[in-house]
A = this chain, B = another copy of it.
């Protein structure tokens, strides 16, 4: 029996899939924070190159992947699909478990799937420099790699708690030629404002986004890039699910359940959207579950509301499940999931009950991560362990019910740069951070449900 289902480079998808074309209810428009009127694409021009803005708003079902991007994808794509024989045995489950492994990319996660096209389109438009934020460092290292590939400068604001927890991530970005700052920093007005209020702020993705936007907006040679949340980012990530569709077909199975970790939505969207098309267009009933941390439960306990994408409030207002843009999540090791809101498309899908969400505690996730490492030989990133926690629950359910479910999950990255997190876990230093009802109600009372 084959452990890995591989594709050739010729099978790298020719198009990304845009789920908006298939959605029964289209996402609500972003609003101008001042006028509260829907914004036009021109408002995004200071931040993004025109091709990405077009992709942000397009209704076309398929967007062609440029040849130069497909060429760059060949460095690591198609990524392997694994049958988790070892894990199935360890869990004693009748379920068939598959995982798409995105950790084979240069930066070790799925993030280059969008970093490469973003760098490419910026280069095409003559941009000189891209500024971005990063949580755990996975997005920052992906963009550093991609900018280096296309000859662009790269500047990264890294959430301070991760900057301190993961120094090797910073060195990786520097190896690819980027400049990296701990956020909140004193390089920006936004950073100084946060530091004045709390000099020991651990930072958050929302704060780092404010800093990066502030750096990019006034300079025509400099653009901004986001690693998740936005429509064009989710679009690029569908290369994952497009490949997985072919691979599952080769395996002779269609998943009953698809699971992916959830930060801003790109990881989850990337794997699940091409399968959800089968639900939306062909009446299939594949369940797609987004796995988030109990300490940052925007999907399971947030409110569907118009909110800012950043902490300071510089972005357009987006219709999303959110805990409020001022929410600073606890310093869990899954830095990539420490974001207050969910992408617009995913939020609409959840509102329409077309996808599901589930929250897991940090210790539960690391326990699953260690079990997976011992069964399959790959040490998962802390973000990926959230998907594992959901998979473990579904595998146990399959065993209890005696049903043979097929589960596919996104092993979105390896944990090579997160070993301190595993060390802390073994040393008993990790804690769970569940929000109380009072905390949730305090956070969400300021939000107006749509």
Q: Given A4-B74, A374-B176, does the pair A420, B9 have CB atoms closer than 8 Å?
A: no
- A168–B3 touching, CB < 8 Å: no
Assess whether A434 is interfacial by the CB under 8 Å rule.
no
Interface residues of A in 396-450 (CB under 8 A from B): 414, 416-417, 419-420, 422-423, 426
- B167–A3 touching, CB < 8 Å: no
Assess whether A377 is interfacial by the CB under 8 Å rule.
yes
A1 to B417 CA separation, bound complex (whole angstroms): 32
Q: Which of B149, B377, B423 contacts A76 (CB 8 A)?
A: B377
- B377–A106 touching, CB < 8 Å: yes
- B379–A175 touching, CB < 8 Å: yes
For A426, give the chain B residue with the smallest CB separation.
Answer: B174
For A172, give the chain B residue with the smallest CB separation.
Answer: B419
- B9–A423 touching, CB < 8 Å: no
* A379 surroundings in chain B (CB, below 8 A): 172, 175
* A23 surroundings in chain B (CB, below 8 A): none
Interface residues of A in 102-122 (CB under 8 A from B): 104, 106, 108
A4 to B426 CA separation, bound complex (whole angstroms): 38
For A73, give the chain B residue with the smallest CB separation.
Answer: B3
* A171 surroundings in chain B (CB, below 8 A): 419-420, 422-423, 426
Q: How large is the interface on A (under 10, 10 to 19, 20 to 34, 35 or more residues)?
A: 35 or more
Interface residues of A in 156-177 (CB under 8 A from B): 167-168, 171-172, 174-177
- A377–B168 touching, CB < 8 Å: no
- B3–A6 touching, CB < 8 Å: no
* A426 surroundings in chain B (CB, below 8 A): 171, 174-175
For A106, give the chain B residue with the smallest CB separation.
Answer: B377
A1 CB, min distance to chain B CBs, angstroms: 9
A243 CB, min distance to chain B CBs, angstroms: 14
A373 to B145 CA separation, bound complex (whole angstroms): 9
* A167 surroundings in chain B (CB, below 8 A): 419-420, 423
Q: Which of B168, B376, B377, B378 contacts A416 (CB 8 A)?
A: B168
A194 CB, min distance to chain B CBs, angstroms: 27
* A104 surroundings in chain B (CB, below 8 A): 104
* A393 surroundings in chain B (CB, below 8 A): none
Assess whether A370 is interfacial by the CB under 8 Å rule.
yes
* A149 surroundings in chain B (CB, below 8 A): 377
- A175–B370 touching, CB < 8 Å: yes
Q: Given A74-B3, A74-B4, does the pair A175, B417 have CB atoms closer than 8 Å?
A: no
A111 CB, min distance to chain B CBs, angstroms: 13
Assess whether A43 is interfacial by the CB under 8 Å rule.
no
A57 CB, min distance to chain B CBs, angstroms: 31
- B176–A373 touching, CB < 8 Å: yes
A376-392 near B? 1/0 per residue, CB < 8 Å: 11110000000000000
- A177–B417 touching, CB < 8 Å: no
Assess whether A22 is interfacial by the CB under 8 Å rule.
no
Q: Given A9-B4, A426-B174, does the pair A417, B416 have CB atoms closer than 8 Å?
A: yes
Interface residues of A in 93-151 (CB under 8 A from B): 104, 106, 108, 145, 148-149
A215 to B377 CA separation, bound complex (whole angstroms): 27
A374 to B141 CA separation, bound complex (whole angstroms): 12
A67 CB, min distance to chain B CBs, angstroms: 12
Assess whether A21 is interfacial by the CB under 8 Å rule.
no
A421 to B110 CA separation, bound complex (whole angstroms): 26
A6 to B373 CA separation, bound complex (whole angstroms): 25
A426 to B170 CA separation, bound complex (whole angstroms): 12
A68 CB, min distance to chain B CBs, angstroms: 13
A110 CB, min distance to chain B CBs, angstroms: 15
- A376–B9 touching, CB < 8 Å: no
**A–B pairs, 30, beta carbons within 8 Å:** A2-B9, A3-B74, A3-B75, A75-B86, A75-B377, A108-B416, A145-B377, A149-B377, A168-B168, A168-B416, A168-B419, A168-B420, A168-B423, A171-B419, A171-B420, A171-B422, A171-B426, A172-B419, A175-B370, A175-B373, A175-B374, A175-B379, A175-B419, A175-B422, A175-B426, A176-B373, A176-B374, A177-B374, A414-B416, A417-B419
